[in-house]
Amino acid sequence: MSSKLIAPSILAADFGNLQRDIEMVNNSEADWFHIDVMDGHFVPNISYGMPVIAAIKKHATKPLDVHLMIEKPERYIEEFAKVGADIITVHYESTVHLHRTLRQIKDAGCKAGVVLNITTPLVVLEDILPECYMVLLMSINPGFGGQKFEDVTYKRIKNLRQMIDAQGLDTRIEIDGGVTDQNIQRLVEAGADTFVAGSHVFGSDNPTATIKTLRELANS
């Protein structure tokens, strides 16, 4: 299986000290920045958009993993690419022409991924998997950080890994929501390889050490 990656979620950073928190991630063992974009329609919360991502890009030395929780994301793909997104994931539930949207992401020079809400059946991925660099399985209801991990995710990871293997692909499986040092190893055993962590990292006394621990546990 591919190497395990840790993507701290900027949603849980201190926005008054954003540059400090970006430098922390730069200097840590983290692999990516996870950036949650929310529009107040697809999810009941509003986060940030292009100007903030452009500001993060100015300081970040690692790839930006941009998770779009917005309706009709196809309207903004080129703009997110322009401000510095490296990976763009869109919700299956948010776009009618998913295949076209993924092509649009790739044409804009980014890696493309699909996100599924907790109750969206995995079977919808069957024919689109070859187009996906990554599948993000939500392990909470999207919209807010700091929620409790939903156990149904373990079964979903196992089934998705089987589906990916059956097609002979090496698609990443990213898990987002409630990831901690208590569940990351079980998530790896189930077949996940990419982990978003927000409150567990930024809410800890020593975020750099917390990232290091997550990385070690994921790779052990």
Active site residues: 36, 176
Q: Order across the sheet with 172-176: list the strands.
A: 5-8, 194-197, 172-176, 134-138, 111-116, 87-91, 64-69, 33-38
Least separation in angstroms between CB 143 and ligand DX5 = 5
Output 69 or 103, the one with its CB closest to ligand DX5: 69
By CB under 6 A, how many residues form the interface with ligand DX5?
A: 22
Could you tell me which residues are beta bridge partners of residue 29? none
36 scored as a contact of Zn ion (CB under 5 A): yes
Query: 29 Cβ partners below 8 Å, 6+ apart?
Result: 6, 211, 212, 215
Stretch that binds ligand DX5, among 4-12, 94-102, 183-191, 205-213 (CB under 6 A): 4-12
- Tell the residue number behind the tokens 């930024």, with chain if given: 202
Task: Identify residues 50-89 at the interface with Zn ion (CB under 5 A).
Answer: 67
Rounded Cα distance between 194 and 137, Å, is 10
CB-wise, 159 or 199, nearer to ligand DX5?
Answer: 199
Which positions make up the binding site for a divalent metal cation?
34, 36, 67, 176
Binding site for ligand DX5 (CB under 6 A): 9, 11-12, 34, 36, 67, 140, 142-147, 176-179, 196-200
